[in-house]
Amino acid sequence: MSLKERIMNFAHELGFDLFGVAPAKLLPEAEHYPAWLENGYAGEMEYLHRQLPARMDPQKILPDAAAVIVVGIIYNTNAPTTDMIDDPRRGWISRYAWGDDYHEVIQERLQKLDGFIKEQVGDQYRSRYYTDTGPVLDRVFAYHAGIGWYGKNTNLINQQLGSWFFIGEIITNVLLEFDQPPPDRCGSCRACLDACPTGAFVAPYVLDAQRCISYLTIELRGSTPEELRPQMGKHVFGCDICQDVCPWNREAVTMQDAAFAPRPENVAPDLAELASLNSETFRQRFKNSPVKRAKLNGLLRNTLIAMGNSGRVEFLPVVDKFLVEHEDTIIREHAEWALRRLQEANAQTVKEAHVC
């Protein structure tokens, strides 16, 4: 059995569903990345600019890098019930954040996989491993490792498994047999492009993060652009729309990994409960959860937008309390917006009742 096969088998034992190897060099798809940054599509994510040299060249991470081992693990689970999804009193957390923080889970397994390879290779082995935590163009290497092709929504899509999977990589000085990138199977489909409510795709395969709901609810630290708030609906952390509508996900397999099993309180969370969180309850509520990345004020800001979009007049006292009492000017500004939205919705309901 070859070294690559032994590594792959151990990766599967650790719970990884996908495995492949790509060359550790500048790859053609990476050449579009500087222009993407120059166009301002990264928004406030300044670290992407700082990390540009390393992201373009894995040799800057590991000088004698020869290969990039890429692994993937499914996080797809059964969707919540329709009544939960349709309930305007509930928000939406992206399904990748329903369970434990994938950074911690995958990092621990990558460490074990890395240790196994070192045992196989010996003291000459050198490596670095990451899962969305380092200056690596993860998807470029995953594509060349045969993990999946670039969908028009910029997510990787695997023909058998769909797109609901995390990826991680080990950059190593060990030369392994490379895999081949899969063909693009999106064809003429543009379901993801047409479904995006904020128009985040400036072209097929090109995402303007500044308009992406995931960026707006997670990465953005300041005020949410007012013109985009109505289109954000009930999203309080992340967005799944472009993956939900993808035909390759219609029969996507569900995972068996307990680490990513949904926490009931994270699936279609109650907006009033989210609005009641303080620093301590936020830390407890989202311990070991990806949601903590949004920070408390970010989540409250998003919750106020979702409340404003809900049309539910019972949220008026909650929103008004934020407007009067909260010390953060951005939170108060979003509360004022939500209050106006709810008052307008209430006025429209009263008007329609009189007409009837």
3-state secondary structure 116-157: HHHHHHCCCCCEEEECCCCCCCHHHHHHHCCCCEECCCCCEE
Q: Is 226 exposed, middle or buried (0-12, 13-18, 19+ CB in 10 A)?
A: exposed
**Domain-ending residue, one of 124, 144, 172:** 172
Catalytic positions are 132
Residues 152 and 278 in one domain: no
Q: Which pLDDT tens digit goes with each residue over 19-61?
A: 999 999 999 999 899 999 999 999 999 999 999 998 999 999 9
44: containing domain: 3-75+99-172
- DSSP character at residue 78: P
Residues 148 and 296 in one domain: no
Residues 162 and 278 in one domain: no
Q: What is the CATH number of the domain that holds 335?
A: 1.25.10
pLDDT at 259: 86
Cα angle at 219 between 215 and 221, to 5 degrees?
A: 120
pTM above threshold 0.85: yes
Buried b (16+ CB within 10 A) or exposed e, 160-186: ebbbbbbbbbbbbbbebebbebbeeeb
348 sits in the region (left: phi over 0; alpha: psi -120 to 50; else beta) called alpha
Q: Which pLDDT tens digit goes with each residue over 279-302?
A: 999 999 999 999 999 999 999 999
Are the CB atoms for 128 and 62 separated by under 8 Å?
yes
pLDDT at 343: 93
Residue 91 lies in a domain: no
pLDDT at 346: 74
pLDDT at 86: 84
Residues 291 and 148 in one domain: no
**Domain-ending residue, one of 132, 154, 172:** 172
**The amino acid at 29:** E
Adjacent-strand bridge partners of 167: 72
Q: Which pLDDT tens digit goes with each residue over 51-100?
A: 999 899 999 999 999 999 999 999 998 766 666 778 999 999 999 999 99
Residues 166 and 275 in one domain: no
All residue ranges of the chain with pLDDT < 70 are 79-83, 348-356
pLDDT at 303: 98
Residues 153 and 277 in one domain: no
